[in-house]
Amino acid sequence: MKKRLSIQEYTNGIISGNRMILSRAITLTESNLPEDIQLAQDVLESILPHTGKAIRIGITGVPGVGKSTFIETFGKYLTSLGKKIAVLAIDPSSQLTKGSILGDKTRMEELAHEPLAYIRPSPTGTSLGGVTYKTRETMLLCEAAGFEVIIIETVGVGQSETYVHGMVDFFLLLMLAGAGDELQGIKKGIMEMADLIAITKADSGNEHQANLAKSEYESALHTFPPDGSGWFPAVVVCSAVNKKGIAEIWELVEKYREILTKNGKFVENRQNQNLAWMHNFIKQSLEQNFYTNLNVSTKIKDIQKAVSEGKKLPIHAGLELLEIFYEKVRV
């Protein structure tokens, strides 16, 4: 059994860039053991002054768009510039076993061998938005370890991509060309969140379709009202295989950061995200406390049965359970 590290040992190891201690710290934050939860919070509090310097990039896209291939090429380009990058690759989890089903360790093999790169696969479990509940904590730990670019790869496009958007500085949406009507199958809200749309796989004779898709997306983006950030989303064509458009994408990320830093929106976004994180944590904690409450758990099955059989109004059932919960809290 590994020796339990102290707060100071974790802090010193993370700040010095020790990969083994960083990985142990991330595992610690993902633990549900009460003693681990408290230690993880203490470690995060300790490394907080060393966070916030990285650019946080969320990358999403429809299934089959080639997110991992793109991230590998993009990541290798960044390491060639001397950038230290961390990739938080979110692996879809089986809802039955809660186990990881894609096996990220078999993906991005070339990038994984780059000395300046660190890849951390994490199963989503039952969390929404293709991110784990602990992604934010992992991001802070990686920043404290000196990583300059944090990339969050999500499972795919869905209703809860706002979770990803709410924790990154730059939101990159990858899209395929030639897969039918380009503007179908993707929600308008996700396009509105994108800071950049990249049409991928513009190779092997697909270049013409990619350029047509680029024009369509540019036209669509012009119908959206300005978001007040001072940045207008761009559309680029790229190929991870041919390394086409990769440098341009990074240049746009840097331009975005420069513009929003100058007008104060970069810091403002970070501050709003921190507040949202606090409120989300409160909601999650209240929900968890409610359903694990002994009095609630003993009564909920009977009340649920009454609701499902139409014998009790759902609202009244909810109020009854809340009264049971709060009565216990007051005691």
Contact 60, 130 (CB under 8 A): yes
pLDDT of residue 16: 97
Share of the chain above pLDDT 70, in %: 84
pLDDT of residue 18: 97
User: Is residue 255 pLDDT above 80, yes or no?
Assistant: yes
265-271: long-range contacts, CB 8 A cutoff, minimum separation 24: 265/228, 265/229, 265/230, 266/169, 269/169, 269/229, 270/52, 270/169
Q: Which residues pair with 200 in a beta bridge?
A: 176
Q: What's the sign of the alpha-carbon dihedral 74, 146, 253, 131?
A: positive
Contact 91, 122 (CB under 8 A): yes
**β strands within 26-80, DSSP E:** 55-61
Greater pLDDT, 263 or 128: 263
pLDDT, tens digit, for every residue of 99-151? Answer: 443 444 456 889 999 999 999 986 555 444 434 568 899 999 999 999 999 99
Contact 320, 303 (CB under 8 A): yes
pLDDT, tens digit, for every residue of 153-200? Answer: 887 656 557 778 889 999 999 988 865 444 445 666 788 889 999 999
Contacting residues for 317 by C-beta, under 8 A, at least 6 apart: 303, 304, 306, 307
Domains, the chain: 1-50 (1.20.5.170), 52-263 (3.40.50.300), 277-330 (1.10.287)
User: Is residue 15 pLDDT above 80, yes or no?
Assistant: yes
User: Is residue 76 pLDDT above 90, yes or no?
Assistant: yes
Contact 165, 58 (CB under 8 A): yes
Share of the chain above pLDDT 90, in %: 59
317-322: long-range contacts, CB 8 A cutoff, minimum separation 24: 321/290, 321/296, 322/290
pLDDT of residue 329: 55
**Mean pLDDT score, 251-261:** 97
Q: Report pTM.
A: 0.86
pLDDT of residue 89: 81
pLDDT of residue 131: 46
Number of separate helices (H) and strands (E) present in the chain: 13, 7
Q: How confident is the model at residue 291 (pLDDT cuts 50, 70, 90)?
A: very high
Q: What is the dihedral of CA 240, 159, 282, 29, to 10 degrees?
A: -30
Q: How confident is the model at residue 97 (pLDDT cuts 50, 70, 90)?
A: very low
Greater pLDDT, 109 or 315: 315
